[in-house]
C-alpha cells in the first residue's frame, strides 16, 4: 500500500503543521481503511477465482469418486428425463460402433473429452473399422452416479456388454463379457461420451 503524500501546507509554517495535524490524521484514518477494504476485496476475488474448479478438474474428481461406489447399484439422484437421454446416447454409441459408421460414432463422443483426444480418436477408429470384427451387445446399463452443478453435468454408466470377436490365436468367434464404466458429459449438443474404462473381463466362451 502506498504511503499518503503529506499536505503541501507543511511547508508554510510549524503552526500550519500543528493546526492540520489532527485533521490529516483523521483523513488518513478514513482513507486507509477504505484502501485496505478495496485491496482485501480484490484479494478475495483473486482467491475465489483461483479456487474455481474447471470442468475437466470437476470431471476427474467425479471419476475418482467412483472408487467408493459399488458398481451396478444405480443412482436415485438423476431425473428420469436425463436418465433416458444418457441411455439413448449410450445405445447410439454402440449402434454406430457395430455398424462401423465413423461419422455417427464420432457424433456420440464429446469434443471436450478427458479420456481421449477427439481427432486422434477419429484417426484411430478409422483404421480400426477397416478390419474390426466385433459385435457388441449391451446386457446391462445402470447409471451409478450423477452430478449436476455449475461445473457441468456428468453421469457414470455401468455397463455389462457381450462382445463377439475372433479369438487371437484360433480365429474362432468367441464371446467375451466386459464390465465398463462409461462417463458421459452433457455438452451443448447433448449427452456425449467423455471416457470409458473396463472394470473386469469375464472371460471368453466359444
pLDDT tens figures, 128-180: 999 989 999 999 999 988 988 777 899 999 999 999 988 888 888 899 999 98
Both 128 and 88 in one domain: the answer is yes
| Shared domain check, 78 and 176 | yes
Do 100 and 137 share a structural domain? yes
Instruction: Give tens-digit pLDDT for 31-52.
Output: 545 545 554 554 555 444 445 6
C-alpha cell at position 70:
459399488
What DSSP designation does 134 have? -
One domain, residues 161 and 131: yes
User: In a 10 Å sphere around its CB, with 0-12 CB exposed, 13-18 middle and 19+ buried, how is residue 190 labelled?
Assistant: middle
| pTM value > 0.75 | no
Kindly report the CATH number assigned to the domain that includes residue 180.
Answer: 3.10.450.50
Which residue in the block uniquely carries the three cell numbers 466386459? 178
Range of the domain at 38: 24-51
Q: Which residues of 41-60 are buried (b: 16+ CB within 10 A; e: fewer)?
A: eeeeeeeeeeeeeebeebbe
pLDDT in tens, 9-37: 333 333 333 444 444 444 544 554 554 55
Question: pLDDT tens-digit profile of 59-82?
Answer: 666 666 665 666 666 766 889 999
pLDDT at 109 (0 to 100): 97
R_g (Cα) of the chain, nearest Å: 30
Amino acid at each position: 500500500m502506498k504511503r499518503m503524500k503529506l499536505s503541501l501546507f507543511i511547508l508554510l509554517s510549524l503552526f500550519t503543521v500543528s493546526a492540520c495535524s489532527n485533521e490529516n490524521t483523521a483523513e488518513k484514518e478514513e482513507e486507509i481503511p477504505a484502501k485496505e477494504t478495496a485491496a482485501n476485496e480484490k484479494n478475495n476475488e483473486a482467491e475465489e477465482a483461483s479456487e474455481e474448479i474447471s470442468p475437466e478438474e470437476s470431471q476427474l474428481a467425479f471419476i475418482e469418486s467412483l472408487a467408493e461406489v459399488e458398481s451396478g447399484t444405480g443412482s436415485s439422484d438423476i431425473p428420469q428425463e436425463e436418465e433416458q437421454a444418457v441411455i439413448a446416447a449410450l445405445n447410439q454409441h454402440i449402434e454406430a460402433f457395430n455398424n462401423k459408421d465413423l461419422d455417427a460414432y464420432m457424433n456420440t463422443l464429446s469434443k471436450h473429452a478427458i479420456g481421449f483426444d477427439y481427432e486422434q480418436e477419429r484417426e484411430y477408429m478409422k483404421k480400426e473399422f477397416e478390419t474390426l470384427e466385433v459385435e457388441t451387445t449391451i446386457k446391462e446399463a445402470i447409471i451409478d452416479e450423477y452430478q449436476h452443478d455449475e461445473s457441468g453435468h456428468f453421469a457414470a454408466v455401468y455397463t455389462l456388454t457381450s462382445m463377439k470377436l475372433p479369438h487371437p490365436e484360433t480365429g474362432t468367434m468367441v464371446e467375451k463379457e466386459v464390465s465398463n464404466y462409461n462417463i458421459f458429459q452433457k455438452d451443448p449438443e447433448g449427452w456425449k461420451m467423455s471416457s470409458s474404462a473396463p472394470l473386469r473381463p469375464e472371460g471368453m466362451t466359444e
